[in-house]
Amino acid sequence: MATHNSLIGSSAVTRELLEHLERVAATDAPVLVRGATGVGKELVAREIHRLSGREASGDFIAVNCSAIPNELLESELFGHEKGAFSGAVSSYQGRMRLADGGSLLLDEIGDMPADLQAKLLRVVQEGVVTPVGSGKEISVDVRIISATHKPLESLIETGQFREDLFFRLNVIPITVAPLRERPEEIIELFDHFRVVYALQGEAIKLNARSISLLQAYHWPGNVRELENFCRRLSALYPGETVNLYTLPPDFLPPKMVKLMGADSHGGSEVDMLGESNLHAVLFANASDDGDEDGLARVLGITAAESPASEQLAHESLKDRVSDFERQLIEKALADANSNISEAARLLGVKRTTLIEKMGRLNIARR
């Protein structure tokens, strides 16, 4: 779903999220965005800022509460006066004032020190900040958006997070689903990233079996892991059609390598020509706007080789799956000069599997 400066995703989960963001953006109420690492919480916050109309009056400012040392975080947030502490050779506005009129993202809010939580509570309640070394309160108009991957309720129970601050920040709760809960977006996102990281304008492609592997892998690092993986492949194999099963294990996530090992022994869920995976890749939104074009681009199938959209509109889900299976097989047979063993190799499946599929789809052996 998350990509650089925009949200991408056609799954029902993402469409519902985008609709929710449109509803809440117009208010000034604080928002708490939750989700695992790498799902795109900051991009959700940026989308809220964009939809709110605050772009015209102020900036979107982000601060990672876990990345700044505790002794500097107060100054970074609220600013300081010249001479307020050793090294303060000039005054500094702080992120709160820099975001005046706009939106402030407090990322990893669960890592904020307890003493700063009390000061943040006052900002949220009263709309004023007090720079370090100053007794003067300064009014700010800031939309506070917080984000965390931690269970704040558990931190409250252990005394690590203030309950009153939690209530103030959690006025509008938003949860971003992990990528494993929206697998139909994997190819959509991969298609985007492969273009973003294409070298000399030529994007990588994947063979059919590799696409199925992307679907079967659970992506514990979510969209960030998928993006970095696509960037690696684009740098190492620019413009090539990549077969993940032939790459050195060091180039692949360890759990993906394990999944590939299970596949080689016939015990994996990976089978590009299986209907369940094609359903997940292509047709999870069969009645809506699926990403058939995205998959075709990743596979390197041209528009002339793709089924006509008018025909697809009238076919059942099962027929569409069969059509795409037939398309893949016929293309592989053509590329292999009708050599079944070579076509099976190109598809990344066993020869017996290919023969069985050809029989089921009434594809003649030439």
Model pTM score: 0.74
Shared-domain flag, residues 85 and 222: no
Mean pLDDT value of segment 319-335? 78
Domain endpoint, select from 158, 177, 196: 177
Shared-domain flag, residues 247 and 116: no
With a CB cutoff of 8 Å and minimum separation 6, the contacts of 180 are 218, 219
Domain endpoint, select from 121, 154, 177: 177
In the chain, what percentage of residues exceed pLDDT 90? Answer: 51
In sign, the C-alpha dihedral spanning 212, 213, 214, 219 is: positive
Would 24 be classed as within a structural domain? yes
10 Å CB burial of residue 45 (0-12, 13-18, 19+) is buried
Shared-domain flag, residues 331 and 185: yes
Residue 357 is predicted with a pLDDT of 84
How many residues appear in the chain? Answer: 366
Per the CB < 8 A criterion, the answer to whether 300 and 328 are in contact is: no
Shared-domain flag, residues 278 and 203: yes
Tens digits of residue pLDDT in 73-115: 999 999 888 877 877 778 888 999 999 999 999 999 999 999 8
Shared-domain flag, residues 208 and 333: yes
With a CB cutoff of 8 Å and minimum separation 6, the contacts of 125 are 168
Higher-confidence residue of 262 and 240: namely 240
Would 365 be classed as within a structural domain? no
Shared-domain flag, residues 138 and 74: yes
Would 250 be classed as within a structural domain? yes
Report the C-alpha gap between 166 and 365 in whole angstroms: 66
Would 78 be classed as within a structural domain? yes
Place of tokens 């779903």: 1
Shared-domain flag, residues 120 and 244: no
Shared-domain flag, residues 156 and 20: yes
Residue 295 is predicted with a pLDDT of 63
Residue 296 is predicted with a pLDDT of 64
Place of tokens 């799954």: 11
Would 77 be classed as within a structural domain? yes
Residue 193 is predicted with a pLDDT of 94
Shared-domain flag, residues 145 and 195: no
Structural domain harbouring 251: 181-360
Residue 282 is predicted with a pLDDT of 39
What is the domain-level CATH number for residue 344? 1.10.8.60
Domain endpoint, select from 177, 201, 221: 177
Shared-domain flag, residues 145 and 264: no
Report the C-alpha gap between 333 and 172 in whole angstroms: 55
Per the CB < 8 A criterion, the answer to whether 107 and 95 are in contact is: no
Tens digits of residue pLDDT in 130-163: 988 888 889 999 999 999 999 999 999 999 999 9
Residue 84 is predicted with a pLDDT of 78
Would 15 be classed as within a structural domain? yes
State the total domains in the chain: 2
Would 263 be classed as within a structural domain? yes
Would 366 be classed as within a structural domain? no
Shared-domain flag, residues 283 and 153: no
pLDDT at 340 over 60: yes
What is the domain-level CATH number for residue 135? 3.40.50.300
Shared-domain flag, residues 141 and 199: no
From the list 41, 327, 303, 291, the residue with the least C-alpha distance to 191 is: 291
Q: Within the chain, where are the H helices?
A: 12-25, 41-52, 70-78, 95-98, 114-126, 152-157, 163-169, 185-196, 208-216, 222-236, 254-264, 275-282, 292-299, 309-313, 317-335, 340-347, 351-360
Provide the mean pLDDT of the chain.
Answer: 83
Tens digits of residue pLDDT in 193-224: 999 999 777 899 998 888 889 988 999 999 99
pLDDT at 53 over 50: yes
Residue 285 is predicted with a pLDDT of 36
